[in-house]
Amino acid sequence: MKVEDIIWKEGMSVKDLTDSLGNVGFQSVQLNNAKNAIVKMKKEGAKIFFTFTANMVTSGLRGLFAQTIKLGLADIIVTTVGSVEEDIMKAIGEKFDIGTFKADDVELYEKGENRVGNLFIRNESYYKFEDFTQEFLEKAYKKKRIWPVSELLKELGLELKDKNSILHQAAKNNVPVFCPGITDGAFGFHLFMFKEKHPDFIVEVVEDFKNILLSVSHDDKKGVICLGGGISKHHALFVCLLNGGLDYAVYLTTEHQTDGSMGGATTDEAKSWGKVKDDSDAATVIGDATITFPIIMMSVFEELKKEGII
């Protein structure tokens, strides 16, 4: 393949851009490869694991995540509990602020604003989340005592009405949401508070491991789209490893392989584990997913729409 000079033409679509980036070089080539891998995993009927970290849900990617589920590009979700919290806050009407990375953090604290990079979440959003959660847990407890995590999250999703909600679209489309670190955040705190009053209320994590393990089989084609690293990415890769490895893998990350971290681990490294098969379609794109994910996924949607697949 040759490098081709990119040129602007009036009215260019996102899809046109992605197509031409395929001949530009460095990360732009990877971006186009990622687009192609996702198109292919959908066309070939792969079960798609979609993983992301909570800061992605703090950002405005949330709506696009919900749409990704709705349009059938995500069959299994793995994420952290922060995603659950912020999806709920937004679903019940809370709005987050855009500020700067250099904001005065002491001043923010005094104003009751909590910074995530250049985004701010107000304390009030947490208070409303608390009210919602305690009420929800009461209802769930009435139904049964022992809850595998993904069943609890589905129940939650059924409560939400927002079409831009990840949990709502997941519940509606029968896409399980796994959260192996369910206690690590405000939701965990509310589970603890609730359990103080109801000691027989049990959140089952080992049972939920069984659920995710059985959510695919060795015979399924399997693909993964991972935004960032951490427990979400690792969990999906590990489950796929136990099921014979991935046929398609797309990683979007800001981390590099040079520190041996999960976020920086490449699709090549995954081959040594059998997580990703040797002949799989795989691409790692280095860059902020708030930029790379929309370009890639919108181009995927455009292409699949044109072919009548979505």
Q: Which residues inside 28-87 make contact with a second copy, applying CB under 8 A?
A: 28-29, 31, 53-55, 58-64, 66-67, 80, 82
DSSP state letters, 244-300:
T-EEEEEEEES--GGG--TTT--HHHHHHHTSEEEEEEEEEEES-HHHHHHHHHHHH
Determine if 150 is a binding residue for a second copy (CB under 8 A). no
Amino acid found at 192? F
Interface size with a second copy, residues (CB under 8 A): 126
Closest contact distance (angstroms) between CB of 278 and a second copy is 5
Closest contact distance (angstroms) between CB of 127 and a second copy is 15
Residue from the set 230, 243, 246, 280 that interacts with a second copy by CB under 8 A: 230
Comparing CB distances to a second copy, the nearer of 92 and 202 is 202
CA angle, 52 as apex, 184 and 307 as ends, to 5°?
A: 155
Comparing CB distances to a second copy, the nearer of 92 and 242 is 242
Respond yes or no: is residue 275 known to be catalytic: yes
Four-residue CA torsion sign, 284, 288, 291, 297: positive
Q: Is the CB of residue 40 less than 8 Å from the CB of residue 279?
A: no
Give which of 301, 299, 293 is closest to 226, Cα–Cα.
293
Pattern of binders to a second copy over 246-285, x per CB under 8 A?
--------xxxxxxxxxxxx--xxxxxxx---x-------
The stretch near a second copy (CB under 8 A) out of 35-43, 128-136, 197-205, 217-225 is 197-205
Determine if 288 is a binding residue for a second copy (CB under 8 A). yes
Determine if 205 is a binding residue for a second copy (CB under 8 A). yes
Q: Could you give the 3-state DSSP secondary structure of residue 141?
A: helix
Residue 138 gets the label, from left (phi > 0), alpha (psi -120 to 50) or beta, of: alpha
Residue 208 gets the label, from left (phi > 0), alpha (psi -120 to 50) or beta, of: alpha
- If you search the block for the tokens 């015979």, which residue do you land on? 219
Residue in 35, 275, 277, 306 annotated catalytic:
275
Q: Could you give the 3-state DSSP secondary structure of residue 203?
A: strand
Comparing CB distances to a second copy, the nearer of 176 and 264 is 264
Structural tokens at position 112: 């009751």
Closest contact distance (angstroms) between CB of 132 and a second copy is 18
Closest contact distance (angstroms) between CB of 109 and a second copy is 5
Cα maximum dimension of the chain: 66
Structural tokens at position 297: 């996924």
Comparing CB distances to a second copy, the nearer of 171 and 243 is 243
- Rounded CA gap, 121 and 86, in Å? 9
Closest contact distance (angstroms) between CB of 221 and a second copy is 19
Determine if 132 is a binding residue for a second copy (CB under 8 A). no
Give which of 30, 44, 9, 4 is closest to 282, Cα–Cα.
30
Interface positions, 2-21, toward a second copy (CB under 8 A): 2-8, 10-14, 16-17, 20-21
Determine if 93 is a binding residue for a second copy (CB under 8 A). no
Residue from the set 197, 305, 307, 309 that interacts with a second copy by CB under 8 A: 305
Determine if 173 is a binding residue for a second copy (CB under 8 A). no
- Rounded CA gap, 177 and 174, in Å? 9
Determine if 115 is a binding residue for a second copy (CB under 8 A). yes
Residue from the set 125, 169, 228, 249 that interacts with a second copy by CB under 8 A: 228
144: DSSP letter: -
Determine if 144 is a binding residue for a second copy (CB under 8 A). no
Comparing CB distances to a second copy, the nearer of 11 and 161 is 11
Which residues are annotated as catalytic?
A: 275
